[in-house]
Amino acid sequence: MTQPAADQPESDLSAPVERPETLLVQVTGTDRPGISAGLLGVLDDVGAGIDDMEQVVIRGRLTLGALVRIPKGRDAVKELLHFAWERQLHIEFEVVEDEPTAPQPTFVVTALAQSVEPTHLRRVVDAIANGGGNIDRINRLSKYPVVSYEFVVAGGDFDKIRHELLFAASETAIDVAIQPVGLGRRAKRLVVLDVDSTLVQDEVIELLAAEAGVHRQVAAITTRAMEGHLDFEASLRERVALLEGLPVSAADEAWTKLTYTPGARTFMRTLKKLGYTTAIVSGGFSVFTDRIRDQLGIDYAESNVLEEVDGVFTGRLLGPVVDRGSKATALRRIAEAEGVPLEQTVAIGDGANDLDMLELAGLGIAFNAKPVVQAAADTSLSVPYLDAILFLLGISREEVEAADLTSSG
């Protein structure tokens, strides 16, 4: 057995190992290139370790925080103070416990409106606090076409926070949504939309009814059906019967009057650029949805088919009716065909016949919806812009514009 040299003492294995000191370092000041690199260079020189680091810049003002482990006997504070002095930065230190905190459930709350004022944000943060949540981070997602903010929340009771947020939204002109944070939120891969009063501003059967001179009768039935007061299939067949004798060519004239919802083209274009599969599932008619599919580059389109004989509509439908149940079935079928788990799907609609689809999807969004739909959906938007839904998916306005620039390039 080898013995230690006489002039070298044996290691004392029982001696306590000195643990590094954990510091929270906070740097603020005017942003300029090289600050992060300089800070990391100092930490590297003193042999420090990094447990966490975050940085944000607002209007040229930098806030940088780092949780670092400083070896005992290394004068890191002096070096950091010198670094800050050279660059005219303000720096603060706080000794913190180095024990890791237990993981907490994490949620993301999105708040958006045409104009977001302090009173709106106050109601949101009060709702989070009342539900026991703590805000870890606040990000602005957009200034246009709506203002939106994202709050990353640690801890708290999901259901209670959601209840508090809904109450806050009911008293202010702001939309709010809460979702668990995780891969599922940014990994949404299939978006299925209703068409009438969602992707487009119209009820397409009413466009045809106007050409047939029966708009008033059809509109009254449509309103009651979308509010859930009438059986959808029976009401649809009743309305279609009023189109008997209308020339098929009238659909071309009706098409010219169809109006997309503001932001619809941006929404679909961005989803396509980001690799989403898109589908429209409509209680309307293929004479419209096939054109919409081709014009917007949508992957799937399912809707009702009007029977035509000798160039006129007969007032009857071909095949099974696309109704509340079949919309959900279509979502499931498309998800299976694309290999997309249901939790990675998004459904968007406004009427009672969308309820099953909204419930089945991983995220169901009521868009400018009837009250019965708002009450049942995961979240509800009342702003008039369809592309605002991108912000609920955690996609910022800057990312939308970057996707547009890439597409145009």
Q: Dump pLDDT digits (tens) for 315-366.
A: 999 999 999 999 999 999 999 999 999 999 999 999 989 999 999 999 999 9
Predicted confidence at residue 65, as pLDDT, reads 92
Q: What is the pLDDT of residue 15?
A: 46
Give pLDDT, residue 378.
86
Quote the distance between the C-alpha of residue 56 and its chain's center. Answer: 22
pLDDT of residue 334: 98
Instruction: Give pLDDT, residue 104.
Output: 73
Show the 3-state SS of 195-259. CECCCECCCHHHHHHHHHCCHHHHHHHHHHHHCCCCCHHHHHHHHHHCCCCCECCHHHHHHHCCC
Strand partners, 68: 23, 50
Please identify every stretch of the chain with a pLDDT value under 50, giving residue numbers as ranges: 1-6, 8-9, 11, 13, 15-17, 409
186: nearest Cα among 34, 399, 404: 399
The hierarchical CATH code for the domain 106-185 is 3.30.70.260
107 CB neighbour count, 10 Å cutoff: 24
- Condensed to tens digits (0 to 9), the pLDDT of residues 173-182 reads 899 999 887 6
Set 194, 202, 350, 387: catalytic member: 194
Taking only Cα atoms into account, the Rg of the chain, rounded to an integer number of angstroms, comes to 29
Q: pTM here?
A: 0.81
Evaluate whether 21-95 and 106-185 have a shared fold: yes
User: What superfamily does domain 21-95 belong to in CATH?
Assistant: ACT domain (3.30.70.260)
Question: What is the spatial distance between Cα 393 and Cα 189, in angstroms, rounded to a whole number?
Answer: 11
Please count the other Cβ atoms lying within 10 Å of the Cβ belonging to residue 313.
Answer: 22
Catalytic status, residue 323: no
The pLDDT of residue 6: 45
Q: Which residue out of 31, 45, 136, 196 is catalytically annotated?
A: 196
The correct CATH number of 191-377 out of 1.10.8.60, 1.20.1510.10, 3.40.50.1000, 3.30.230.10 is 3.40.50.1000
Asked whether the bond before 118 is cis by omega within 30 degrees of 0, the reply is no
Contacts with 385 (C-beta within 8 Å, 6 or more apart), sequence order: 145, 146, 261, 262, 263
Measured between alpha carbons, how far is 159 from 156 in angstroms, rounded to an integer? 9
Q: What pLDDT, on a 0 to 100 scale, did the predictor assign at position 11?
A: 46
Which pLDDT does position 4 carry in this prediction?
Answer: 46
Q: What residue ranges do the domains of the chain occupy? A: 21-95, 106-185, 191-377
Active-site annotation holds for 196: yes
